[in-house]
């Protein structure tokens, strides 16, 4: 019997692919089917209809594809879900603060190089290995494709979705990037994760802008990460006083989460704050950037390019009044 049709062969192949993924530097790997996520698909539709996606129009485009990979790839049978740990401790004070300097905080995931480049290189290598073993892969996703990443990752056993809507893993908490490979191989699926937050509501209570009005529901219109990155317009005046010095992204709902208390530092060199923008940005420096070319050169290979020069300058300007009040 051909190994791709032999149950024992499929088990061996599934384990081999997992081992390959780990050897390429991914920290977790799980497998699930391409069966549609019916409940999550309905939740997404309600979330969109309630306006919680703010101005992210791309999320409204064919939302049914996000819960059902077979709509795009009819022959697809398995989703290989991957996680990469990005946690690192805060740099020592001399590296984050200067006397009298005006600084804005950067979300931890963006301290180093752009994770897309790091993960896509690993994905390409994994897809090559799968193809060499007779599998067809249509796509490797890193948060920029129509797929409900956290829901598929939960069904693949990587972790559970917490009240702050982040995927929470056993070993790395929520400090993980997610990625997926869709293939026509019918691999052995893992059991879904079953963890939960219990009665804890620290993330809901800690959000300074009220972006988590209830458990498992994020309102992007009030989320500091959205307001400082994806948002193309001005930051609402009533929310400016609550930015809490965040100039790019926000980590509040993660730092207060008990599952992140014992986070393991990442072993990926490119994610280190020494490789990129670091944990804090000088507001004076942002204001002094004269043009887009200078901005792109300053933040080459950094996630901060996502906000564009105009967005980062807007964020810097919004932080000035609050910092002046504290000084």
Tell me the CB-side half-sphere exposure of residue 150, using CA atoms within 13 A. Answer: 18
Interhelix angle 115-132/7-23, rounded to 10 degrees, is 150
Chain-centre distance for alpha carbon 201: 21
Q: How far is CA 267 from CA 27, 85, 271, 311, in A?
A: 10, 8, 9, 31
Alpha carbon distance 127, 123 (integer Å): 6
Q: Where are the beta strands (DSSP E) in 254-298?
A: 280-282
Active site residue 143: yes
DSSP string, 53-73: TTT-GGGGSSTHHHH-GGGT-
Alpha carbon distance 36, 151 (integer Å): 11
Q: Where are the beta strands (DSSP E) in the chain?
A: 28-33, 78-85, 103-106, 137-141, 160-161, 167-168, 176-183, 246-248, 280-282
Active site residue: 143, 171, 205, 284, which one? 143
- Residue closest to 17 by CA, chosen among 189, 270, 152, 141: 189
Q: How far is CA 132 from CA 86, 126, 139, 163, 165, in A?
A: 29, 10, 16, 40, 36
**Cβ 130 vs Cβ 181: under 8 Å:** yes
Q: How far is CA 200 from CA 152, 196, 237, 251, in A?
A: 24, 10, 31, 18
Cα-flanking dihedrals φ and ψ of residue 218, to 5°?
-105, 130
Question: Computed from CA positions of residues 233, 237, 239, 243, in that sequence, does the dihedral angle turn out positive or negative?
Answer: positive
Residues with catalytic roles: 143
């Amino acid at each position: 019997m051909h190994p791709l049709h032999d149950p024992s062969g499929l088990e061996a192949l599934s384990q081999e692919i997992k081992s390959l993924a780990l050897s390429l530097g991914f920290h977790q790997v799980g497998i699930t089917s391409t069966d549609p996520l019916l409940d999550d698909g309905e939740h997404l539709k309600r979330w969109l209809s309630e306006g919680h996606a703010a101005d992210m129009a791309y999320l409204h485009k064919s939302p049914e594809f996000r819960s059902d990979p077979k709509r795009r790839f009819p022959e697809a049978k398995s989703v290989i879900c991957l996680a990469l740990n990005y946690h690192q401790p805060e740099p020592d004070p001399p590296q984050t603060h200067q006397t009298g300097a005006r600084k804005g905080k950067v979300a931890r995931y963006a301290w180093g190089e752009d994770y897309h480049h790091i993960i896509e290189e690993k994905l390409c290598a994994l897809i090559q290995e799968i193809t060499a073993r007779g599998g067809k892969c249509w796509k490797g996703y890193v948060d920029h494709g129509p797929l409900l990443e956290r829901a598929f990752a939960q069904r693949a056993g990587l972790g559970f979705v917490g009240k702050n809507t982040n995927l929470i893993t056993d070993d790395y908490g929520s400090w993980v990037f997610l990625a997926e490979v869709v293939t026509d191989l019918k691999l052995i699926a893992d059991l879904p994760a079953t963890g939960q937050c219990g009665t804890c509501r620290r993330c809901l209570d800690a959000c300074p802008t009220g972006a988590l009005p209830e458990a498992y529901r994020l309102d992007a219109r009030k989320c500091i990460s959205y307001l400082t990155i994806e948002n193309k317009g001005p930051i609402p005046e009533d929310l400016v006083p609550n930015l809490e010095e965040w100039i790019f992204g926000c980590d509040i709902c993660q730092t207060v989460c008990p599952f992140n208390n014992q986070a393991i530092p990442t072993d990926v060199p490119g994610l280190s704050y020494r490789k990129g923008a670091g944990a804090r940005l000088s507001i004076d420096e942002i204001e002094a950037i004269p043009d887009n070319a200078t901005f792109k050169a300053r933040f080459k290979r950094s996630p901060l390019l996502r906000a564009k020069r105009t967005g980062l300058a807007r964020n810097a300007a919004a932080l000035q009044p609050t910092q002046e009040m504290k000084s």
